[in-house]
Amino acid sequence: MSRIFDTDLQYAMSTRAIHAGQRPDPTSGAIMTPIYQTSTYAQEGLGRNKGYEYARGKNPTREALERNIASLESGTHGFAFGSGMGCLDSIMKLFKAGDRIVCADNMYGGTPRLFDRILVNYGLKFSYVDTRDPQRVADALTPDVRAVIIETPTNPLMHLTDIAAVAGLVKQHGALLIVDNTFATPVFQRPLELGADIVFHSTTKYLNGHSDMIGGAAVVRDDELAARLQFILNAAGAVPGPFDAWLVLRGTKTLTLRMAAHDANGRSIAHFLDQRLGSERVFYPGLPSHPQFELAKRQMSGFGAMISFELGSKAEAERVMGRFRLFAIAESLGGVESLVNHPASMTHASVPPERRAALGITDGLVRFSVGVEDVNDLLADVEHALAR
């Protein structure tokens, strides 16, 4: 855990992205945070040290990253983990056997896999709900519910959940609201400001932004919750190495620039697909035809670069995906390069086929993570791929 420097709060997001949580190295003045590649710290005597004892608990490179992300998310305490799933697994250790968690029915594929195939074995209970409708969340809040977990927009169908509305219900119930903010990033959406208790990320995606590491992070505002998470972080130890922490810290410096470029490219490509395929086949929260466009405008300050579209069959998806020259066929998202993915056989292959069908993750669905290349080059690539 690292608490943000209070002095960082006076600055705007783009300034904090570059400076928050970091100070020039006191030994040398190095402008960039050093990679403290160490497992332990020399102590001055018994019980006397500089606040660092063993690197599972604390590492200065990791702390700089934790403060930086905490500041971007308008929180007070940040926690870095070795992956997004490691982060979520550690968050879930806040709960105990018999506790029930209400979970959005269209989360990242690895989330229900962790819940239904591992955590149920430890006595946690899960209810899956379509959280687009806050009333359904309200109806699911039985006395054993300790937390509600949502992702908005969702992957790959771009469903939104009204964070402020759900936060109100969850608070009234005395439970915690946990939000996966990987897709929107704090540049476009800050769940803690809307009443969420814990926000978390796969830093593998936009926060790092260069597809060269795996990591996770969580941010909270409450001191007691922060102390519990720090205890879990140190006791369970799902922490990142200092080099990976440093890569994300370098990535967040350009986060606001990258997100603006992703957003501009995402809007252009979504509009192109909308005209080419028809609105009912394109899923993007920034299109006026998106059923939750009003909520998107209210809750997000940008729509990002994740777009899904329906090509009707697996054969057509395969044909089109094989014709791209710039978009690489790959899992993951959020890097500077454009990727194309087939959710049914790639990112969401771990979701049982009946559940995929019920959610609308068809065999003809294709998902883009639009990068920050020149938009005309990308549009030409999409046009070429779709051509018969």
Residues marked as catalytic? 56, 108, 180, 205
Cα 189 from Cα 162, distance rounded (Å): 12
Q: Which of 75, 216, 285, 335 binds ligand PLP (CB under 6 A)?
A: 216
| CB atoms closer than 10 angstroms to residue 183 | 26
CB nearer to ligand PLP: give 74 or 106: 106
Q: How far is CA 132 from CA 20, 177, 370, in A?
A: 34, 15, 25
Interaction residues for ligand PLP, span 105-164 (CB under 6 A): 108, 110, 151, 155
The order of strands in the sheet holding 176-180 is 2-3, 77-81, 216-220, 198-202, 176-180, 145-151, 100-104, 125-129
Q: Which of 4, 17, 55, 85 binds ligand PLP (CB under 6 A)?
A: 85
Q: Coil, strand or helix: which one is 203? A: coil
Q: Which of 63, 66, 73, 180 binds ligand PLP (CB under 6 A)?
A: 180
CB nearer to ligand PLP: give 141 or 239: 239
Dihedrals phi, psi of 211, to nearest 5 degrees: 50, 40
**Residues 370/319, Cβ–Cβ less than 8 Å:** no
- Strand residue runs (E) in 134-288: 145-151, 176-180, 198-202, 216-220, 282-283
Least distance from C-beta 83 to ligand PLP, angstroms? 3
**Residues 342/321, Cβ–Cβ less than 8 Å:** yes
Least distance from C-beta 386 to ligand PLP, angstroms? 25
Q: Which of 18, 138, 164, 214 binds ligand PLP (CB under 6 A)?
A: 214
- Strand residue runs (E) in 253-338: 282-283, 306-310, 328-329
Least distance from C-beta 215 to ligand PLP, angstroms? 6
Least distance from C-beta 85 to ligand PLP, angstroms? 4
Per-residue string for binding with ligand PLP, 86-115, x by CB under 6 A?
A: ----------------------x-x-----
Short-list 124, 92, 125, 88, CA closest to 109: 88
Size of the site for ligand PLP (CB under 6 A): 15
Interaction residues for ligand PLP, span 188-207 (CB under 6 A): 202, 204-205
Stretch near ligand PLP under the rule CB under 6 A, chosen from 3-11, 80-88, 115-123, 259-267:
80-88
Q: Which of 22, 68, 90, 182 binds ligand PLP (CB under 6 A)?
A: 182
CA atoms within 13 A on the CB side of 318: 6
Cα 227 from Cα 222, distance rounded (Å): 9
CB nearer to ligand PLP: give 205 or 290: 205
- Which residues of this chain interact with ligand PLP, rule CB under 6 A? 83-85, 108, 110, 151, 155, 180, 182-183, 202, 204-205, 214, 216
